[in-house]
Amino acid sequence: MTHMRVNDLRAYYTVEQNGLPKNIRAVDGVSFEIEEHDFLAIVGESGCGKTTLAKVLYGALDPVLSIVSGSVHYAFDDSEFEISPVQNTLPKAWWKKISYIPQGSLSALNPIRKVGQIFRDLLSSHNVPFEIKDVENHLKLVNLSEQVLGMYPFELSGGMKQRVVMALATFLNPRMIIADEPTSALDVVTQRDILWLLSFLHLSKQISFVFITHDISLIPGLASSVAVMYCGCIVEYGPVDEVFSKPLHPYTKFLLSSIPRIGDKTEKKPIPGAVVSLINPPSGCRFHSRCPNKTDTCENSRPNMIKVGSGRHEVACWLYK
C-alpha cells in the first residue's frame, strides 16, 4: 500500500531582501511515493532543502513557509490526510500515525521538565492515561532504564537523549517517522547504536521511515530506497542497491565518490563550484553549472524524472533522454 504520495510539491519561504519580498524556493517540484514498511533516505548537501521538505511532509508550516503548489497525500489503514496550498489535515495524525524528529531535537527536549514529565505532557495532550508500566516497558524497547524518568535532559548523554526522543516519537505507535539528521550531533559509536535502533524499530514495529541525512555513507544497510536532493529538487530516486551500484545522475556520482573507503588511495575531489542560490536558481537543470556533462539543453530546460532500469529507479538528467 502507498503510505505517502508527494505530487509536484513546491514550498517557498518568503523573506525580505533590500526591502523587497523574495521567495526562497527550498522545495521546488518534488514528487515521490513511499510504500508501507519502506525506509527512504533523503540525502543532499547542506542548504539543499532537506529540512524544509521534512517540515512540509509533516505539515509543520510556519508563517514564512508556505506551500505554493502540489500536494502530499497520506493513506493509513483507517484514515487519509492531505497537505496542499488549501488544506493541511495532517496535524490530526501527529504522534499517532506519523511522528517527526526535527533536526537538532536533542536540544529541543524541555530543559526544565524531567523525562517522566515530558512523557506525561505528551500523553495528556492526547488524552492518553499515563501508565507507568507501559512507559517503563516502552523505555526498555529503546534500551533505556526507568531511571531516566526521574532525570532532566541535561543529565543524559547525547545517545540517551536521542533514545528518549525515539521513545517519545514511537510511544503512540505511529506508522511512519520522519527523522531529520537524528545522528549528526553524536559521536560515531553512538551514531551506529542509534542507526541500529532505527532499523530495529522499522523491522520490529513495522514503522516506515523517512530518514534525512547529508551523509550518504550512512545509507547502505539502513535504508531500502534513496532520494538524492539537489537545490530544492529530487534528481535521483530508487532502490538503495541499484542507486549505489549504478548511480545515474552526475551529482549522485559525485556524492558516492566522496565516501572514503579503507585501502582506496584515489584522490577525493570536491564537487566543483558552490551550492547555488535558491532565490535565483539556475535555469534548466539546477546542477548544470557544476556538471561535467552539461550541454545547451541542460542550461535551457529542466529535465523531468524518467524511469530507468528496474522501473523503480528514476533520474532527472538529460543524459538519459
Ligand X SMILES: Nc1ncnc2c1ncn2[C@@H]1O[C@H](COP(=O)(O)OP(=O)(O)OP(=O)(O)O)[C@@H](O)[C@H]1O
Residues that bind ligand X (CB under 6 A): 13, 15, 24, 26, 44, 46-52, 64, 103, 214, 278
- Partner interacting with residue 52 (select from ligand X, Mg ion, none; CB below 5-8 Å by kind): ligand X
Please list, residue by residue across 72-89, b when 16 or more beta carbons sit within 10 angstroms of its beta carbon and e when fewer do. bbbebeeeebebeeeebe
Q: Count of CB atoms within 10 A of residue 17's CB?
A: 9
Per-residue CA distances from 131 to 50, 134, 145, 149, 165 (Å): 37, 5, 16, 13, 19
Residue type, 178: I
Closer to ligand X at the Cβ: 51 or 199?
Answer: 51
Q: Number of C-alpha atoms within 13 angstroms, CB side, residue 202? A: 22
Smallest separation (angstroms) from ligand X to the CB of 46:
3
Q: Transcribe 65-108 into DSSP letters.
A: EEEEEEEEEEE-SS-EEEESSS-B-GGGGBTTTEEEE-TTGGGG
Contact code string over 53-92 relative to Mg ion, x by CB under 5 A: ----------------------------------------
Residue type, 274: A
- Partner interacting with residue 162 (select from Mg ion, ligand X, none; CB below 5-8 Å by kind): none
Closer to ligand X at the Cβ: 103 or 117?
Answer: 103
CA–CA separation, 165 vs 194, rounded Å? 11
Closer to Mg ion at the Cβ: 139 or 195?
Answer: 195
Smallest separation (angstroms) from ligand X to the CB of 35:
24
Q: Tell me if 120 sits within 8 A of 163, measured CB to CB.
A: no
Piece in contact with Mg ion (CB under 5 A), picked from 4-12, 43-51, 216-224, 246-254: 43-51
Selection from 270, 235, 237 nearest residue 254 by Cα? 270
Q: How many residues would you count in the chain?
A: 321
CA–CA separation, 27 vs 6, rounded Å? 12
51 makes contact with Mg ion (CB under 5 A): yes
Q: Looking up cell 500523553, which residue turns up?
A: 123
CA–CA separation, 175 vs 202, rounded Å? 9
103 makes contact with Mg ion (CB under 5 A): yes
Closer to ligand X at the Cβ: 51 or 258?
Answer: 51
Identify the bridge partners of residue 73 per DSSP, sorted by sequence position. 5, 82
Closer to ligand X at the Cβ: 18 or 46?
Answer: 46
CA–CA separation, 167 vs 141, rounded Å? 8
Smallest separation (angstroms) from Mg ion to the CB of 104:
9
Closer to ligand X at the Cβ: 194 or 229?
Answer: 229
Smallest separation (angstroms) from ligand X to the CB of 107:
14
184 makes contact with Mg ion (CB under 5 A): no
Smallest separation (angstroms) from ligand X to the CB of 57:
12
- Partner interacting with residue 48 (select from Mg ion, ligand X, none; CB below 5-8 Å by kind): ligand X
- Partner interacting with residue 71 (select from ligand X, Mg ion, none; CB below 5-8 Å by kind): none
- Partner interacting with residue 266 (select from ligand X, Mg ion, none; CB below 5-8 Å by kind): none
- Partner interacting with residue 24 (select from Mg ion, ligand X, none; CB below 5-8 Å by kind): ligand X
Closer to ligand X at the Cβ: 46 or 266?
Answer: 46
CA–CA separation, 59 vs 6, rounded Å? 12
Closer to ligand X at the Cβ: 46 or 204?
Answer: 46
Report the interface residues with Mg ion, using CB under 5 A.
50-51, 103
